[in-house]
Structure 1
Amino acid sequence: MSLAVRSETCSDLQYLVGTVCCKKCDFGFFVKKDCKSPSRDPVCYKCYSGTFMNVSNGLKECFNCTECNPDLGLEISSNCVGIRDTTCKPLDGFFCTSWLSDDHCEAAQKHTHVCPPGQFIKTNGTALNDTECAACPAGKSVSLPHPQCQSSADAKHEHSRYSIWILLTLFIVLIIIGILAVFPILKAHVNKILLEVLNLTPFICTYNQPCGDGQAGGVSSGII
């Protein structure tokens, strides 16, 4: 959208309407109604919500505010106001690939998380730059999940440590499963022993048949 054509007879603070030079509307405003003569000002309206105007102008509407699209890796850096457009910045974990100005990014992409074989992460990514990878020194290599270069001995030690933790975790899980499987059998066995020792027959006390005299010797068993 361009500003109205300016005549050589109009100053920088005016815009041309036919043969009449009208005073421009200020920042944050647009022309609702042109002036009828140079001695009369145009009718200027404040920019509506979602629009802005960052120049003095003779335009009939304000500019639409920019939207920061997450699909392009962007989020709002500063909100749109009447005299200034929205500014966007890269999302966390992204870096800008196209700057419209020093503080406004148009598009971004994700940082590199894994370097090519034989390389390590030299510098983590920022909003300005992608992750920087570099080749490992001679005699060293990268062994995931460790992101830095390691000697063969260090890599072997790291692998052994992770293996021990995995085996220990599996051992604990198996013990818990075994306990849960044996508990019902153990419970039934204890109940059987109690019944044999007390020479009692298990029964259920109900409203129609309450516990008391005549019920297996009048003794309630302590069955688990």
Structure 2
Amino acid sequence: MSAIRVKICGLNSPQDVAAAAAAGAAYVGFVFFPKSPRNISIEQATQLALEAPVGLCKVALTVNADDAMLDTLTDAVPLDMLQLHGSESPERVAEVKARYGLPVMKAIGVADAADLPQIDLYSQVADQLLIDAKPPKNADLPGGNGLAFDWRLLAGRKYWQRPWMLAGGLTPENVAEAVRMTGARQVDVSSGVEAAPGQKDAALIARFSAAAQSVAV
């Protein structure tokens, strides 16, 4: 049996980071996207990253960020991984990996079986994949919308070429079922552990992590 690795995304306070660490999370995510209620400044992220316990993987979520933005971000914040959550092409993913020397996680939106080939395509260039619910058309946010997709699409597909993480509409109540149905060994949550948009709840974080890690895989 191996433990499910949990990512708590959209953190914006030292209390959030402490709650994620106490719950046994493997990753914490900081959002750099002005339209998001979880958006934080580079200065905030720097402080949070410096205060994070050793061993907690610090992930920066960006959306179609250009080199100038990524230069500023990586120069200031001690990060362990970049998460590309926009419409970045495979070529752009490869460019970011080469330029910054950090592992890159590419988010891929899934609504139906027609979206699955993108997973194989990006697995050739990304270090990890985040499989999320595809946002509705004209949505302001590419993720963090609290939407799930049909997890049966991933059943029996435990092994792509790269490690992958399940996201989209996960909560303390459904994460165990999602893990059992998909075979995911990593899960990502943001809105599912919030009391209000952008406000994390330490009790929900603890419940989510416990529920995810209760599943034998």
Q: So what's the TM-score if we normalise by structure 1?
A: 0.16
Query: Greater strand share, 1 or 2?
Result: 1
Larger radius of gyration: 1
Higher RCO (CA 8 Å, separation ≥ 6 residues): 2
